[in-house]
Structure 1
């Protein structure tokens, strides 16, 4: 088992900690050894993927366990359209590995640096009214429980545990392998366009219903918004040379990074910068294999809050957000990301029992976000919002229990799976109240 240094921070840098021990197991037996050691010595452990959650979900001052040495595809079944993969496998690598076997995930988000276990444990999602979050693609998992037991879990073998594990916040055990439901590889045509926000809101049902994947970004204090659509196609993949990469990725991120630094140094420039960004939204399109089209390279770091809402409330929430922004003039230039997702029956899924809208607010790293996020959160909660588990929020167990019908059943399951509290940390104590 590989040991490493003792300093850790998440992607945005908002969470930092000094674990007493950092471990990189290379097989399941070593994961079991770590769990049993923690039980004997009364220690706690948290598992970290890529550190892309903005909360303190993975933070610990005791044992931090990374699955970075447990990556890759174990088995694919092209006939059943499934694959079993190591839980530490990063989404970017997973997409390429599956593609070599002519397979692909049915939907993904716009970030591909997370591990598959981290993505499903926090409810990571893409967009599209026909698709649930990534956890809905899981058909089986191998987990090491808080007692050191290794269980192969499916909906048929362990119905309750399966529904708990699909989004578990790492509170039920250490997921070491994941079995995914897949589909044959496919290509997508991506299109970006610019329209007035009022027009976008009027056309929401049409836009969401007529495209496989649809999302939009609107900018504080600006009129235009960016529409992004993706649809399946048989067209050949668009050639993207080094010049295109430099233009679309490096220069775009560098320009936005420079404008973000300007907004941080001179906060009064936030509104003009937001309007400038809205005015130069890129338009055009390209074709590519699905896993390459979904992902967007993010080099400018930020902090984020995202809430799930009933799908039909999207436009009303945005109008109220705009009114609140106009009244308070927050120093913010980052666009607001808006997506859709199909409802599901996963116990801790923000989309539990309802077709959903997701609205995400961002703030450049190092700029104060607390008042802006808190005011937006009040609006989200007014409309029945539930927080994305990997994003910032201010809720404690009382509000969360009221929002999740299966909350107490999850807590009962947690007490059975982790009787010694091995997987606890201060963040989970706040969330679960125990």
Structure 2
């Protein structure tokens, strides 16, 4: 089969905040075609970045040379029903993956909230769902296949080349092209999805108990009020009603449109922000749905936005949120979106924001056309004072020196990257700065 490679018409990320004009974009359908494109790029002394759905807000995929899109390299290749494991092609969108697994009687233990992203992109950036006892998506990976700069296909796991495995599981695309991931699954199941409102103080007081009692917990904080909306997801034997999926989709859509309307209005009339926060918080709680796991979609946002997110030590969440409330009030910041707080268990992957510690992840969204420096910068500074680690797909300005202090295996990753890709085939200017490397 002939490799589809065409001159690029330009590329932009989902939020419209990153744009580039690569010289070519290849769309391989086989491993051999991916190998050929990597070797061509290396032999011509050029660089290559893999693109997925474009949902990263940071310039991970920016290049003026070569893009490689895995949108034609998708699907589940094999299933081990006895061990409940599947090998999946990296271009597969998470929404399709969830459906394919359900057809096999399987599910993921936790799924990131946005299902339009690709498996490869979600792994590369350490993307996660929520559950104090559940890791991010990469924590469910038991094996990886990647193509290195020399064109070699490497299969790695915690038993087979464990250093490369733990480096590649969350690698920002800097070690090679991840072509496949083996995922540890669970039996397909149903979830009871419940929303309830409470004060921030009550939320923080009950947090430990809530995390013990419920499989998944997350909450939205309407920062100009003292109100949070808790969302919890629990495995249940109850059967969903016939209309439950429809009700869930309609309710989710109504909530998303409500957030959008609130944000649009308060952006133009900032004085109404507090009133809209209070109104919206009262309107979205007090519901319970029973759904098949495949039908649960926890993505609440409607429309495009940009976002900052840091993974904080879970024990620091309460003082950080209290300080954040005082900071927003002191600076007079008008926040158009609620803040989202999720929880992720520790893992062993070198560049995972959750490496060796349990995390509370605080996401701060804003409009793409909003002047966000004055908003994001002081909040990021607060998070960084508490050893917050940035989500790799989100906005941050940390240097290699700062990252080194946050990630104990940061220099180990840099050394391994040089061995795997000494000429920097998979680097771009952003990654070169991030890893304190010189582009050759």
TM-score (norm 2): 0.95
Do 1:166 and 1:346's aligned partners in 2 also have CA atoms closer than 8 Å? yes
Matched, 1:195 2:198: yes
Q: Aligned equivalents of 1:282 and 1:238: distance in 2?
A: 20
3-state secondary structure, aligned to 1:216:
strand
Q: Which range is displaced more, 420-429 or 235-244?
A: 235-244
Tell me the alpha carbon deviations over residues 239-264 of structure 1, each in whole angstroms, 9 at most, x when there is no partner.
33796367424443333323322233
Report what 2:90 is aligned to: 87
Q: Aligned equivalents of 1:223 and 1:91: distance in 2?
A: 34
Report what 1:228 is aligned to: 231
Q: Aligned equivalents of 1:107 and 1:246: distance in 2?
A: 19
Q: Aligned equivalents of 1:210 and 1:305: distance in 2?
A: 29
* Alpha-carbon offset, residue 207 of structure 1: 1.3
Q: Which range is displaced more, 255-264 or 192-201?
A: 255-264
Q: 1:210 to 1:406 in 2, by over 3 A?
A: same
Tell me the alpha carbon deviations over residues 308-341 of structure 1, each in whole angstroms, 9 at most, x when there is no partner.
1111111111000000011111121211111111
Matched, 1:240 2:243: yes
3-state secondary structure, aligned to 1:136:
helix
Matched, 1:216 2:219: yes
Q: 1:312 to 1:238 in 2, by over 3 A?
A: farther
Q: Aligned equivalents of 1:246 and 1:114: distance in 2?
A: 19
Q: Which range is displaced more, 115-124 or 292-301?
A: 292-301
Q: Aligned equivalents of 1:350 and 1:369: distance in 2?
A: 23
Q: Aligned equivalents of 2:286 and 2:112: distance in 1?
A: 20
Matched, 1:2 2:4: yes
Q: 1:338 to 1:255 in 2, by over 3 A?
A: closer
Tell me the alpha carbon deviations over residues 37-85 of structure 1, each in whole angstroms, 9 at most, x when there is no partner.
1111111111111111111111111111110000101011110110001
The equivalent position to 2:434 in structure 1, one of 426, 431, 434, is 431
* Alpha-carbon offset, residue 294 of structure 1: 4.5
Segments of 5+ residues of structure 2 without an aligned counterpart are none
5 Å-filtered alignment, 1:399-418, equals 399-418=402-421
Tell me the alpha carbon deviations over residues 329-377 of structure 1, each in whole angstroms, 9 at most, x when there is no partner.
1121211111111111111111111111111111123222111111111
Q: Aligned equivalents of 1:423 and 1:140: distance in 2?
A: 21
Alignment length (residue pairs): 434
Q: Aligned equivalents of 1:20 and 1:273: distance in 2?
A: 46
Report what 1:422 is aligned to: 425
The equivalent position to 1:319 in structure 2, one of 312, 318, 322, is 322
Report what 2:20 is aligned to: 17
3-state secondary structure, aligned to 2:296:
helix
The equivalent position to 2:398 in structure 1, one of 395, 398, 401, is 395
Q: 1:49 to 1:267 in 2, by over 3 A?
A: same
Do 1:108 and 1:291's aligned partners in 2 also have CA atoms closer than 8 Å? no
The equivalent position to 1:360 in structure 2, one of 360, 363, 374, is 363
Q: Aligned equivalents of 1:329 and 1:210: distance in 2?
A: 37
TM-score (norm 1): 0.96
Q: Aligned equivalents of 2:348 and 2:76: distance in 1?
A: 27
* Alpha-carbon offset, residue 108 of structure 1: 1.2
5 Å-filtered alignment, 1:151-300, equals 151-240=154-243, 244=247, 247-296=250-299, 298-300=301-303
The equivalent position to 1:72 in structure 2, one of 55, 66, 75, is 75
Q: Which range is displaced more, 280-289 or 139-148?
A: 280-289
Q: Aligned equivalents of 2:146 and 2:245: distance in 1?
A: 42
Q: Aligned equivalents of 2:224 and 2:182: distance in 1?
A: 45
Q: Aligned equivalents of 1:56 and 1:272: distance in 2?
A: 36
Segments of 5+ residues of structure 1 without an aligned counterpart are none
Q: Which range is displaced more, 264-273 or 86-95?
A: 264-273
